[in-house]
Amino acid sequence: MKVKFKSGLLFRSAIIPWYDTDPAMLLTLAFAVAALLFSLFGVAAVLDTPHYHAAIWVPGLLGILSLTITISMLIRLIGRS
- Domain definitions of the chain by residue range: 18-80
* Dihedral angle of Cα 43, 47, 48, 53, to the nearest 10 degrees: 110
Tens-place pLDDT, residues 31-43 = 999 999 999 999 9
- Residues with Cβ within 8 Å of residue 32, at least 6 apart in sequence: 66, 69, 70, 73
Q: Would you say 57 and 47 are in contact if contact means Cβ atoms under 8 Å apart?
A: no
Tens-place pLDDT, residues 8-60 = 556 667 787 888 889 999 999 999 999 999 999 999 999 999 999 999 999 99
pTM above 0.85, yes or no: no
- Residues with Cβ within 8 Å of residue 40, at least 6 apart in sequence: 59, 63
